[in-house]
Structure 1
């Protein structure tokens, strides 16, 4: 039987209809990736993970687009399929950070807090010029803080608390002019506090506690006009408190306990720091009287002045902090004048609505 010839239009119609029933085959089963560099960088990151007990990275395979992998966020109107955030907090992950993380050039957030990452912090992170938040708290990183992190000029938060970092605080950190939070606490850092940190005019929180820092507190920190939280406790810092720090009226938490600081507190302490809520000056070598003006900081919740050499009478007006005060520690000083009225300040504390721990 002879099949009649088909017109051009008929041939195209036949092919179009037939294609509905013809499956498409690719060289592999993997889906199409719009950015292979990001995908490969993430796989390099996964490759160095030696333990993933919660199977947090089980979705990191070819069955899903990498933008849908656990802990990965993509975004941006111009580049919607570029990785902008890597957030894998509290996942019990073990291993070093791959230097290939620097190939994720659109990263704005890295948060790997509360895991067991170890090794050194890759210097390659300094190439992520879009990075705004770097949080590596509560891991076991060692080595020094890479000075070239300062190439990440858009950083707003650098949080390296609770690791095993050594060496000095890089002076170069003072060039991160957009930084609002700097947390280097609970490491093994040595040396002195860099005066360059006074350049960080947007800084609201500075946490340097629980290290082995020495030297004095730089006067330059008095230029941090937006500082709300200052933590320098549990170091070996000596000298006096710079008078410039007492001019930072924005301070809410002032913690310099467990150091080797000395000197007198200014009489107008509570007037020049009206927003103060928590004061930790215990276990130092301060002398002189406790300022009566402390009660003018009407939001005070904690006053810890124990184990110093304060002398004179205890101010009788702490009871005026009746809406807030919950902790008052004064033991281990040279307070009182040796008369029966030395403890009458306790009567004023009965006005406090919450129980005051002494």
Structure 2
């Protein structure tokens, strides 16, 4: 009996060992992660101290695996977090080095988040476009250079592309227009130049297009009018030229439009003031003509900034019929005449009207 029990225990231990081996991540993926780690230096938090042992699916910080296959599915490394490791250190993360092409050997990757580490440099590995299951790329807040991969459009499942706040250059690749599942495009604060892709309107699922703080030029592509889910359009701080399209005010769910600090010219379309847009910034352009007398009950603005343009004529009296205007800035134009009475003018400061030709009335000097 004793011998039988001994054999049973030995068999159980062996089965457990075998089961543990089966449940561990593939050795090739563990090696790829260790090669990825070797290209990075993180001196303060020790986030890679947990990357030990044979099973990269078990307690490796920032690594998640598919439950059944045990293949690596997610890398989630954020330099700004509320997790205990950051709270104990009382600091945000800082990491140098580069993103190793070894990451491309993780063939089941669904998301790559390597964000807000401030010092990671080098280029995005070109091979990243060969990962067929990739849904999210979030590399915001580093020092990544080079260009967005030209064939980024191969990632048919991609829903988030965020490379904001880096030092990337080159054009936004035309193949971006092939990312039919893309919902969030964020390339803010880089050194990108050239036109906005003409076929950007092919991105029917896109809800946020954040392109500000680059050197983009040319007009706003008409195809954008076809993105019926677009809620947030920000192309501020570029060199965008031409007129503001009338169709911007006719888009179904568009609520935030930031076109400030560009080279836009012509008159302001009437449609913008009777639309669903609630945050509209057109400041620091070369816009001309009068402020359209087109305000009404559908006009609801938390922010309306028309400052630093070449607008002329009076402030339209219809602006008083707007449902709500929170912040209004009409300064640094060539406006003239009496400031209307009543809301929103009864809560505005003089700074909203300064540096015009001949405006008068409260809160400025009496007429």
Please, what TM-score do these two structures have when normalized by structure 1?
Answer: 0.77
Indicate conservation of the 8 Å contact 1:230/1:251, yes or no: yes
| Alignment-derived partner of residue 302 in structure 2 | 277
> Is the CA contact 1:201–1:224 (under 8 Å) kept in the aligned structure 2?
yes
Question: What corresponds to 1:232 in structure 2?
Answer: 259
Q: Structure 1 residues 241, 128: CA separation in 2 closer, same or farther (over 3 Å shift)?
A: same
2:149 is the counterpart of 1:157: no
Instruction: Report the Cα distance in structure 2 between the residues aligned to 1:15 and 1:46, rounded to whole angstroms.
Output: 42
Distance 2:330 2:322 in 1: 16
Any conservation in 2 of the 1:251–1:273 contact (CA below 8 Å)? no
Q: Helix, strand or coil for the counterpart of 1:58?
A: helix
Q: Distance in 1 between matches of 2:340 and 2:303?
A: 18
Count of residue pairs brought into register by the alignment = 327
In structure 2, relative to structure 1, the CA distance for the partners of 1:254 and 1:345 (3 Å cut) is same
Paired residue for 1:65?
56
**Which deviates further from its counterpart, 115-124 or 293-302?**
293-302
SS in structure 2 of the partner of residue 100 of structure 1: helix
1:134 paired with 2:164, answer no
Q: Deviations over 1:143-175 (max 9, x none)?
A: 111221222211111011111111111112110
Cα offset for 1:12?
8.7
Task: Supply the RMSD in Å over aligned alpha carbons.
Answer: 3.6
Separation in structure 1 between the aligned mates of residue 151 and residue 44 of structure 2, nearest angstrom:
28
Whose radius of gyration is greater, 1 or 2? Answer: 1
- 1:213 maps to which of 240, 253, 263: 240
Cα distance 1:179–1:65, how it changes in 2: closer, same or farther (>3 A)? Answer: same
Which residue does the alignment assign to 1:245? 272
Q: Indicate how the Cα distance of structure 1 residues 226 and 319 shifts in structure 2: closer, same or farther if over 3 A, else same.
A: closer
Distance 1:67 1:129 in 2: 30
What are the residue-to-residue correspondences of 1:163-178 with 2, within 5 Å? 163-178=190-205
Q: Which runs of 5+ in 1 are unaligned?
A: 1-9, 337-341, 349-358
Aligned residues of 2:243 and 2:267 also touching (Cα < 8 A) = yes
Q: Shift in Å at residue 54 of structure 1?
A: 5.0
Q: Partners of 2:9 and 2:325 in 1: how far apart?
A: 79
The alpha-carbon deviation at position 99 of structure 1 amounts to 2.5
Q: CA separation in 2, counterparts of 1:76 and 1:206?
A: 38
Once residues 21 and 127 of structure 1 are traced to their aligned partners in structure 2, the CA distance between those partners, rounded to angstroms, is: 46
What residue in structure 2 maps to residue 311 of structure 1? 336
**Farther-moved stretch of structure 1 (112-121 vs 17-26):** 17-26
TM-score, length-scaled by structure 2: 0.76
> 309, 312, 332: which one pairs with 2:355?
332
C-alpha separation in 1, matches of 2:6 and 2:160: 57
Task: Name the structure with the higher strand share.
Answer: 2
